[in-house]
Amino acid sequence: MNTHIKKTMLATTALVLAACAAPTPAPTAAPAAGAAPAKPAAPAAPAVAITIGMLTDRSGALAIYGPSLENGFNIGLEYATKGSNKVAGKDIKVVVKDTASNPDTGVSLAREAIEKDGAKLLLGVPASAVALAVSGVAKDNKVIYNACPAATPDLTGKNFNEYTFRAGRTSIQDAITMGGALLGMGKKFIQIAPDNAFGRGSAAGFYAILKPGGAQFPVNDNDKDVGTIFAPLETTDFTPYINRLLDAKADVLVVTWAGTGFVPMFQQMQQLGAFKSMVVATGMGDNASMKSGYSTATGSVGVSVYHYSLFNNAENNALVSAHKAKFNSVPDLFSECGFNAAVMFVKALEATGGDTDPAKLIKALEGLKFNGPKGEYTVRPEDHVLLQPMPLVKLLNVTDPDFKFFELVKLLKPEESAPPCAVPAELNRCKK
């Protein structure tokens, strides 16, 4: 889906015709000696379009998240440019690439967007492993990359580079949001997470929050396994993993997952009695997954990255209204970060007058404050983490026809959910 809106102004020239009996005109005078003939003015060169490469998932393990990212970005672009899809007189052209949740494909398509399509900006993707790979391409080509919704903290931590920014949250922000509530639910904890960059980053985040708070982890209590049982993202039969969770006899199970696996996991947990044996705490998923897989989790408390029903501000109202008008549905889990990415790009390009020079864009983005669907956001200059409000919610139901599933328990302020700076010390970026 390429967004390329061109408005062409047609100039109409009126011709005045002489009357039938008009006199013969006088001969044209010769030019003065030595005078050069007048040259016609050269037409103004058309402004070159700014191309953005959108890396999404329309297939692969995380394909359920692609549409919300794409729709949110396109609505955000329309909102931020006031419907013109132009910045500083230049058209915005968006080329869409399906990474299929595959890092090698993501690298190939990011290069294609830059080398073939002329992209000066990149955004996406759902899969953290793909995002880390694309970040490397952005660094090598000196192109700005705005990562979302991938949540691995390594993007703005140990793998930091100055060309990579975030339009979404990190899994550490998820853990901070849930941490206080979890510590009040029990003493013994166990986790399950996908064995990939996102799962390991998220599990490490929860471990780092819970362990200092006095939590005990009866299984895999070390800095590598962080009290977690890891399973492949493609898992559909969770029985052996759930049995290991039950054998741990923990008070609280922290679930980190992504994609369609949520539904069979929760169904099998219910069949094996996990919900009766321990408190199950998790992040809240996309609307379809909530409706089909979370019925047994009613009453639970967890983090919601974004839900349209929790916010009443100009940006969220615009996102909701446009989404209903264009797609006859409400925004979903990652519509917000797509919207944010568009706003960030437009504001940065406005600041540079449409110049895509990466040094100028970095300067414009670092420290940027803007309003988005959850309120006010700030790009932290030292590591490019996006500081933002983070909602802790209670699941009330999964049957509401408008997907109004949640009650807001607490909205953490951006500074309350801010993760520690984790950029390598040798880069000398973290404030002491």
| CATH (residue range 50-169+308-388) | 3.40.50.2300
Show me where the domains of the chain are located.
50-169+308-388, 172-303
Whole-number average pLDDT of the chain: 90
Alpha carbons 66 and 259: distance in angstroms, whole number:
11
In this predicted model, what pLDDT tens digit does every residue of 369-385 receive, in sequence order? 999 999 999 999 999 99
In this predicted model, what pLDDT tens digit does every residue of 285-308 receive, in sequence order? 999 999 998 888 888 889 999 999
| CATH (residue range 172-303) | 3.40.50.2300
In this predicted model, what pLDDT tens digit does every residue of 88-135 receive, in sequence order? 999 999 999 999 999 999 999 999 999 999 999 999 999 999 999 999
Pairing type for strands 90-98 and 252-255 reads unpaired
In this predicted model, what pLDDT tens digit does every residue of 146-188 receive, in sequence order? 999 999 999 999 999 999 999 999 999 999 999 888 998 999 9
The yes-or-no verdict on residue 18 having pLDDT over 70 is no
Return the exposure string of 354-383: e unless at least 16 CB atoms fall within 10 Å of the residue's CB, then b: ebbebeebbebbbebebebbbeebbbbebb
The yes-or-no verdict on residue 4 having pLDDT over 90 is no
Expressed in angstroms, the distance from the first to the final Cα of the chain is 45
In this predicted model, what pLDDT tens digit does every residue of 92-102 receive, in sequence order? 999 999 999 99
Alpha carbons 105 and 117: distance in angstroms, whole number:
16
At 40, is the pLDDT very low, low, confident or very high (cuts 50, 70, 90)?
low
In this predicted model, what pLDDT tens digit does every residue of 300-349 receive, in sequence order? 889 999 999 999 999 999 999 999 999 999 999 999 999 999 999 999 99
At 46, is the pLDDT very low, low, confident or very high (cuts 50, 70, 90)?
low
Alpha carbons 296 and 298: distance in angstroms, whole number:
6
In this prediction, residue 89 carries a pLDDT of 96
At 415, is the pLDDT very low, low, confident or very high (cuts 50, 70, 90)?
very high
Query: What are the DSSP E strand ranges found in 357-429?
Result: 369-372, 375-379, 386-387, 390-395, 406-412
Helix (H, G, I), strand (E, B) or coil at 330: coil
